[in-house]
A and B are shown apart, each in its own frame.
Chain A
Amino acid sequence: MNIGVQLLQYTLSGITIGSIYAMVAIGFNIIYNSTGIINLAQGDFVMLGGMAAVYFHNSLHIPLLLSGFFAITIVTCIGILFERVAISSLKNPSIITLIIITIAASILFKGGAMFIWGKDAYVLPSFSGDKPIMFFGATILPQTIWILGFLGLIVAALMAFFRFSIVGKAMKACSYNKRAASIVGINVNKMVMISFALSACIGGIAGVIVTPIALAHYDRGSLLGLKGFGTAVMGGLGNMGGAVAAGLIIGLLESYSAGLLSSGYKDAVALVILLMVLYFRPGGIFGKKEIESLKTY
Chain B
Amino acid sequence: MLKMKNLFKTSFSKAGLTFIVSVILMAILRNPYYVGILIFLGINIIITIGLSLLMGYAGQISLGQAAFFGIGAYATGVLTTKLHMPIIFSFPLSLLLTVTVAFIIGIPTLRLKGHYLAMATLGLGEIVFIVFNELLTLTGGPSGFGNIPLIKIFGVELDSDYKYYIFVWAIVSLILFLSLNIINSRFGRALKAIHKAETESATLGINTFRLKLYIFVLSAGYASIAGFLYAHYITFLSPGTFSLGFSIVLVTMVAVGGMENIWGAIIGTTVLTVLPEYLRFFKDYDILIYGVILMTIMLLRPEGLYGIKIPLRKILSARN
Contact = CB atoms under 8 A, between A and B. Distances in A.
B123 A271 contact: yes
A114 B285 contact: yes
A162 interface: no
Interface size class of B (residues with CB under 8 A): 35 or more
A265 B291 CA distance: 30
Contact of B295 (A96, A101, A271): A101
A222 B244 contact: yes
Contacts of B299: 85-86, 89, 101
A182 B287 CA distance: 39
Interface in B99-115: 108-109, 111-115
Interface in B76-129: 108-109, 111-116, 118-120, 122-124, 126-127
A110 B287 contact: yes
Interface string B214-225: 000000000000
B26 to A, nearest CB: 32
Interface stretch (A58-66, A185-193, A223-231): A223-231
Given A107-B248, A108-B288, A38 B130 contact: no
A97 interface: yes
Interface stretch (A123-131, A166-174, A273-281): A273-281
Contacts of A138: none
Nearest to B119: A229
A148 interface: no
Contacts of A159: none
A220 B244 CA distance: 12
B272 to A, nearest CB: 12
A100 B127 CA distance: 21
B287 A107 contact: yes
B292 interface: yes
Contacts, number: 121
A38 B115 contact: yes
Nearest to B107: A279
Contacts of A157: none
B161 to A, nearest CB: 30
Nearest to B285: A115
A104 interface: yes
Given A99-B61, A226-B123, A108 B112 contact: no
Interface residues of A, number: 44
Given A108-B295, A275-B123, A282 B112 contact: yes
Contacts of A89: 299
Nearest to B135: A264
A219 B55 CA distance: 26
Contacts of B292: 108, 111
A103 interface: yes
A83 interface: no
Nearest to A103: B248
Interface string A261-297: 0101101100110110011001000000000000000
B288 A103 contact: no
A229 B114 CA distance: 14
A105 interface: yes
Contact of A115 (B111, B126, B288, B294): B288
A97 B302 contact: yes
A275 B120 contact: yes
A112 interface: yes
A265 B134 contact: yes
Contacts of A223: 126, 244
A95 interface: yes
A183 B285 CA distance: 47
Contacts of B288: 107-108, 111-112, 114-115
Nearest to B105: A275
A107 B290 contact: yes
B218 to A, nearest CB: 19
B172 interface: no
Contact of A274 (B113, B119, B251, B294): B119
A111 B120 contact: no
Contact of A230 (B63, B109, B123, B255): B123
Interface string B270-290: 000000000000000111111
B264 interface: no
A279 B115 CA distance: 14
B285 A111 contact: yes
Contacts of B251: 100, 103
Contact of A107 (B55, B63, B291): B291
B208 to A, nearest CB: 16
25 contacts: A38-B115, A95-B115, A101-B295, A101-B298, A103-B251, A104-B252, A104-B295, A107-B290, A109-B291, A110-B291, A111-B287, A111-B291, A222-B244, A226-B119, A226-B126, A229-B119, A230-B119, A262-B134, A264-B133, A267-B126, A268-B126, A274-B120, A274-B123, A275-B124, A278-B112
- Chain A to chain B: the 6 pairs with minimum beta-carbon distance, closest first: A111-B288, A108-B291, A107-B291, A111-B287, A38-B115, A104-B294
Interface of A: 37-38, 40, 85-86, 89, 93, 95-97, 99-101, 103-112, 114-115, 219, 222-223, 226, 229-230, 233, 262, 264-265, 267-268, 271-272, 274-275, 278-279, 282
Given A100-B251, A107-B290, 5 more contacts: A97-B298, A103-B248, A105-B291, A109-B291, A114-B288
